[in-house]
Structure 1
Amino acid sequence: MLFNIMTLVAAALVVCVRSQILPSEAYNHSAVLKLGVIKLYWKFNDKYITFEVIAKTTGWVGIGFSEKGSMIASDIIVGWVKNGIVEITDRHGDLNGFPPLDSQQDIKILGGKQYGSWTMLKFSRQIASCEKDYDIELNRNTQRVIWAYGNKVPIGDDITPQDSHGTNRGVKSLIILTSLEKPYDLPKGPEYKTFDVLANNVKIPAAATYYNCRIHRFPEFTKKHHIVKVEPIISEGNEEYAHHIALHRCGDVLPNKTLLELDDNCYSSKIKFFETCGKIIEVYTIGGESEIFPDIAGISVGAPGDPIYVQLEIHYNNPDLRSDIVDNSGLRFTYTSTLRKFDIGTSYIGVVPFGSQTFIPPGSESFQSIGQCNPTCLGDKMTTSGFENITIFSVILHSHLAASKARLRHFRNGTELPPIASDEHFDFNYQRRRYSNATVKNTDQLVMECEYNTKDRLEVTEAGFGTMKEMCFAIVYYYPLINLSYCFSSVQRRLSWSYLGVDLGKVKRIDEENPDLEAFVLTGPDKQAGKTILEYMNELDWNTKNISQFQLNYNAMEHYELCYGSDRSKPTKTAFNLTKIANPYKESKRKCHQPDLDENESWST
């Protein structure tokens, strides 16, 4: 009987192994393009990148790189294994749908095979664009990776329009060239332990956007430890609803222990203790993965002055207004008693997220929102914390659905340095960490920019926490720790409203807690009396010329900076004008490398 059971188990294992090809080597990067169907592996050096794609088909397999996720103007690679021979071709997308061959084949076939019902293809290419007409240079922007496969190999020597993929296709956003500064493993030697901070059976309301908050107590450490790794724990099936998770430090004295058992809207005024939860400790955004911190730094816990109580904030995105979702998502922390040299800090840099201050006209193809963090805030917080500079090691660029581009720029003495983080193809559903090693001095400026496309919108888009509203900020991770939670800036509403024709003497605020345009009502002139400022702005003639003029004047207006320390209820406010860029940074374009015929290692990564 035991022998029969073991035989059945062994047979099941053989079937399992044969059901999918394993990658031919270890890779630092991988992505599931479609669960159970197709997976992509890759690695790269400064010139070349190697891909390995494994798909559940015995036909042809294709992947491509596209700015907008369509086949048009995309860079495509298609291959197959026929009679044991591997063919991989360099192609491009055009208006006809079928991808023709490139006139120049810029890939190197490294392998391929069929095994059972699966096909593996392995190839290498240069990171640079070696054919100006069709190849796309790979970079650190979000890349739309398109994929498709057919059920049969070509009858002849090449695929034809008859070799259709049908519905076997898709697109996925990926950052192909993540920075080489990213650590992948914890150092060996120290002892590591973990603890979780999780939601507790939160029933997500039938609302498009909901922010749920819950107070937790950190473990009672007997001495100082460092958190060295953080990973998201997302309830199975809730991946598309948990848009971001943030952990904030709260006050050290909890007025009532029953608060540890309560869930509520984060921005409700019912739980006053929420107002003490200001300093950001950690953030996860949709599409994110585990974060291993640099060997030199960790988040301090257990020492005098370290967090005791924390607020777990989860932003739920529920566009279908479902009322049957229960969530237990959160964060897992790995910590050690082996201390590192520096403590880690986390701060927000960007644009004031209030609709009355920050708004975007409808019908704009590229409206820019700018938040500037000056030495009056960033430098002052460094100096008062006892440091002349900080090192930013990772950044999350955050915005919402209308954003098309986002970048965190870095200025020193009027000269722009390389951007700390930049994404020219921003995707709301794929907001991943970008790794850096940037030294920021106490005399430097950081400028957060977002560009928005509102061509499909008929009304003004306000800044705010809802998904259909907009935000523009960077979450920066750095060491050593300084006393800075937020550095936001914007234009005074009195200036932008006056430019748009609002008589400030005839405005009444009807809701003191609401920071949006709908909280302000016009009392005159007669034709406008009773309208909210939002209704008034929606009736303006937002043609291309007026949008352009508003953009120019808006950026020229006096801005103000809000600088928050650990207590977010007491910011300092400073007026300033946006810095005129004397020497903008220009990124050099990669050059196509011409390897010698005998340079075998040139295609190896």
Structure 2
Amino acid sequence: MKEDYSSALAALRKALEIEEKHLTSNHLYKAYTYASMTKVFYGLNDYQQCLEYLERAIQITHQNKTPSYPMQSYDRTIELEKNIVQLWWTVDDIEQEITFELHVKTTGWIALGISPAGGMKGADIAIGWVDSSGKSFLEDRFAVGKVTPITDNTTHDWILLHGQERDGWTAIQFKRSFDSCDPMDVPIRSGTNILIYAYGLTDSIMYHEGRRGTRILPLRSYSNQVTDNILDGLDLFDFRFDNLPIPSTDTTYYCKVFKSPNQYSTKRHAIAHEILIDTTHQNLLHHLDLFECNSNEILDDSNLPDGICDNIITQMRMCSSNLATAWAIGADPITLYPKEAGYSIVNFKYFMIKIHYDNPKMMSNLRDSSGIRFYLGNNLRENDLGYLVFGTSSNAASLAIPPNVRRFIVESYCPSEATRNLPSTGVNVVSALPHTHLQDIFKGISINLFVVCLEAFDFDHQFANRLRKPIKIYPGDEFATRCVYNTINKDKITLGGQRTIDEMCSHTFSYYPFVDSLSACMTRIYLIAWKIQMNSSSMIDDLELEHTLRNLTWISQSANQWQTFYNEAQRVVAIFRGGEIESKILPNRPKYKDFKDEL
């Protein structure tokens, strides 16, 4: 009997190996295999493995679980509260409206709203229910504060389409225009939107008693989602850590170089990638960057760089300029590339994964096997996909945000020299991923015209904003980025840095066709400007500046003076071109109509 179980286990492991190569990480077939392995391990009296594979099967089943089928097909869906609240939506740019379908595990009222600041006050809310006869209702309401929202007595702009109750779930389908021009409505903007939801246990609209939530989403620019198993059967490969020990420090950046697979005799195009998140400690993974290594460098395949990033900084420099993709906490694990472009995969290409682990409780004995998977299309696409990074360098000379302020503005600039070598026909930007840490409340980037404006930013949900239409960048175009920070909860200065409690301000674009003449453009304040600001008789280096900044005493007037300094200080711009860095001093602060002095 034991031999039968062993043979079954070998067959199941072989099946799982095939599934790993050809199926997505959360494909339901893998849950079936895990469930079968659970029975085998039980028969072998290996109860620990039995429980482990049972948990894997349950996890994938939950990921594939839909509370009830939507009334029609939609472009987007997201689970707002696990196993309780599911939202579907489709954007109609022609009609300038969005069709929503909200499902909640209750037979009482359900509500979805757009909030201007994340709370109840000023929120535009749709409240719906289905009565005992099966009739559906939807009311347009406005929240004046933390009380029952009042009826919108101007115009009714949440339009009921259908509703139903089934198996303990209430589902309401409705639509709303992007901007109704109603003073009691909140526009659905092209950047991020703050959604609030709530539900009750009966149809009588009364206090939700904590049955509520908030989520920041780019409703009109949500990344393409994988549907109909379009990745099934494609060739794929992984770059993945192997049971990596995570240090018991609050912040760790770990870097490891991988070599691309050599079984492909010709160039291939990846059409999607998937971030493989080790679910054992998934909350520790803050963000993951993948870089292409400089093709001119010679690497030893038997001794590829691998370690804490700061400990191998010399070896990793050859792999730190050209971003291959980026992911941040809360984003979707799978990204589909635009149909016009694919990411180029060729033999003898090296990549470096750089992962930020956030371990604020400094837990020990943790291990991680996260990584990235590429799905290869069967045919080459017309263009190669590339990535550009713009923003402010992450150090004290670039970001020094005073404490106890509601708004502190940091801007960066990239001059026309950066784009001088782009093709005359331009390149097409298709998505923008903003990235900061805990203090940011607004992000925007301008390329001669405004590209993306995130009026609300959520550290735990950092999405790549897929543009509804690609935006062209031409030779001579300039860039400007703006981040606005709120440090009202802090009594000490916040500096630029790698830790979660430090700050960043960057934007990553995906674009096509790929060019090697520009990969990044980052700004910092000129050290001479710091010398003048700190009233120093000699030049200040980075370490001395950081020490001085951390020991500043702040008074009420200091923040305004500091903002003036940031607005007027000279900047140094570092332009990254195919492994080379070109520096330029900006003597004056550029003026852009998109970035007014007051937002």
Alignment of 1:189-338 (within 5 A): 192-220=234-262, 221-252=264-295, 255-260=299-304, 263-269=306-312, 272-278=314-320, 279-289=322-332, 290-302=334-346, 308-338=349-379
Shift in CA distance, 375/111, structure 1 to aligned 2, threshold 3 Å: same
The 1:238–1:92 alpha-carbon spacing in structure 2 relative to 1, beyond 3 Å, is: farther
Q: Secondary structure at the match of 1:59?
A: coil
Q: How does 1:78-477 map to 2 (within 5 A)?
A: 78-83=127-132, 84-104=134-154, 105-132=156-183, 134-154=184-204, 159=205, 163-178=206-221, 192-220=234-262, 221-252=264-295, 255-260=299-304, 263-269=306-312, 272-278=314-320, 279-289=322-332, 290-302=334-346, 308-380=349-421, 382=422, 389-411=426-448, 417=449, 419-436=450-467, 437-477=470-510
Is contact 2:113-2:196 (8 Å) kept?
A: yes
Q: Distance in 2 between matches of 1:362 and 1:449?
A: 19
Structure 1 residues 182 and 388, CA, compared in 2 at 3 Å: closer, same or farther? same
The Cα shift of 1:557 comes to 2.6
Letter in 2 for 1:95: G
Cα distance in 1 for residues equivalent to 2:407 and 2:151: 34
Task: Identify if the C-alpha distance between structure 1 residues 330 and 582 changes in structure 2 by more than 3 Å, giving closer, same or farther.
Answer: closer
Aligned residue type for 1:552: T
Cα distance in 1 between the residues matched to 2:299 and 2:592: 52
Comparing 428-437 with 442-451, greater Cα deviation is found at: 428-437
Q: Distance in 2 between matches of 1:490 and 1:350?
A: 9
Bigger mean CA offset, 288-297 vs 223-232: 288-297
- Which among 541, 544, 553 is matched to residue 520 of structure 1? 544
Counterpart secondary structure, 2:102: strand
Per-residue Cα deviation, 1:294-319 (whole angstroms, up to 9, x for no partner)? 2222121216xxx6221111111222
Partner SS, residue 572 of structure 2: strand
Change (3 A) 1:584 1:309: closer
Q: What secondary structure is seen at the aligned counterpart in 1 of 2:122?
A: coil
Do 1:399 and 1:428's aligned partners in 2 also have CA atoms closer than 8 Å? Answer: yes
Deviations 1:69-102 (A, max 9, x none): 2212211121111121211111122334222222
2:124 to 60, 66, 75: 75
| Distance verdict in 2 for CA 1:95–1:442, change over 3 Å | same
Q: CA deviation at 1:396?
A: 0.6
Query: How do residues 493-512 of structure 1 correspond to structure 2 at under 5 angstroms?
Result: 493-504=527-538
| More off after superposition, 359-368 vs 446-455 | 359-368
Once residues 115 and 582 of structure 1 are traced to their aligned partners in structure 2, the CA distance between those partners, rounded to angstroms, is 54
Higher helix proportion (structure 1 or 2): 2
CA distance in 2, matches of 1:19, 1:295: 28
Q: How far 1:323 moved relative to its partner?
A: 2.2
Q: How big is the shift at 1:447?
A: 0.9
Residue 55 in structure 1 maps to residue 104 in structure 2 = yes
Alpha-carbon distance in structure 1 between the residues aligned to 2:235 and 2:80: 33
Is 1:549 equivalent to 2:561 in the alignment? yes
Alpha-carbon contact 2:289-2:325 (below 8 Å) kept: yes
CA distance in 1, matches of 2:119, 2:550: 37
Q: Which residue of 1 aligns with 2:522?
A: 488
Which of 35, 49, 70 is the aligned partner of 1:23? 70
Equivalent in the alignment of 1:572: 582
Which amino acid in structure 1 is aligned with residue 444 of structure 2?
A: R
Q: In structure 2, how many angstroms separate the alpha carbons of the residues matched to 1:213 and 1:395?
A: 24
Gap change, CA 1:374 and 1:98, over 3 Å in 2: same
Match in the other structure for 1:525: none
Once the two structures are TM-superposed, the CA of residue 53 in structure 1 deviates from its matched residue by 0.9
Paired residues of 1:77 and 1:90 also in contact (CA < 8 A): yes
Write the distance in 2 (CA, Å) between the matches of 1:583 and 1:173. 27
Task: List runs of 5+ in structure 2 lacking aligned partners.
Answer: 1-61
Code of the residue aligned with 1:296 in structure 2: it is: E
1:395-419 deviation digits (Å, cap 9, x = unpaired): 11111111111111012xxxxx2x1
The superposition leaves residues 511-538 of structure 1 with CA deviations (integer Å, 9 ceiling, x where unpaired) of: xxxx5xxx217xxxxxxxxx931344x2
| CA contact 1:40–1:53 (8 Å) conserved in 2 | yes
Deviation string, structure 1 residues 471-508 (Cα, Å, up to 9, x no partner): 11111111222222321112212312422333326x5x
Shift of 1:236: 1.9
Q: Post-superposition shift, 1:130?
A: 4.3
The 3 A distance-change label for structure 1 pair 442 and 190 is: farther
**Kept after mapping to 2: 8 A contact 1:18/1:115:** no
What does the per-residue CA deviation read over 1:429-449, in whole Å, with 9 as the maximum and x for residues that have no partner?
221111231111111101111
Aligned residue identity for 2:386: G
What is the rounded CA distance, in whole Å, between the counterparts of 1:19 and 1:345 in structure 2?
35
- 1:169/1:189 Cα in 2 relative to 1: closer, same or farther (>3 Å)? closer
Q: 2:112 is aligned with what amino acid? A: I
Aligned to 2:86: 39
d(CA) in 2 for partners of 1:282 and 1:65? 31
Summarize deviations over 1:195-240 as a string: whole Å, max 9, x none: 1212211232222221111121111121111111112221225443
Instruction: Kindly provide the amino acid, as one letter, of the partner of residue 75 in structure 1.
Output: D
Q: Does the 8 Å contact 1:19/1:117 carry over to 2?
A: no
Conserved 8 A contact 1:191-1:336? no
Change beyond 3 A, Cα 1:343–1:336 = same
Question: In the aligned structure 1, how far is the partner of 2:136 from the partner of 2:474?
Answer: 53
User: Does the CA-based 8 Å contact 1:92-1:101 persist in structure 2?
Assistant: yes
Q: Is the 8 A contact 2:245 2:367 kept in 1?
A: yes
Letter in 1 for 2:202: K
- One-letter amino acid matched to 1:143: N
Q: CA deviation at 1:356?
A: 2.9
Q: Deviations over 1:148-185 (max 9, x none)?
A: 2112222xxxx2xxx33223222222221117x95867
Q: How well do the aligned residues superpose, as a CA RMSD in angstroms? A: 2.8
Q: Which amino acid aligns with 1:114?
A: E
The one-character-per-residue Cα deviations of 1:114-133 (angstroms, maximum 9, x if unpaired) are 1121111111222213421x
Q: Give the conservation status (yes or no) of the 8 Å contact 2:404–2:490.
A: yes
**Amino acid paired to 2:125:** I
Of the two structures, which has the highest relative contact order with CA contacts closer than 8 Å and spacing of 6 or more? 1
Alignment CA distance shift 1:578-1:479 (3 Å): farther
Distance in 2, matches of 1:117 and 1:30, equals: 20
Distance 1:293 1:187, change over 3 A: farther
Residue 97 of structure 2 aligns with an amino acid whose one-letter code is Y
Deviation at 1:141, TM superposition (A): 2.6
Contact 1:346–1:476 (Cα < 8 Å) also in 2: yes
Q: Supply the distance in 2 between the matched residues of 1:400 and 1:19 (Cα, whole angstroms).
A: 32
- CA deviation after TM superposition for structure 1 residue 280, in Å: 0.9
| 8 Å contact kept, 1:496–1:554 | no
How far did residue 32 of structure 1 move? 0.5
CA deviation digits over 1:554-602, x for unaligned, max 9?
A: 33232211112232xx42211123554365489xxxxxxxxxxxxxxxx
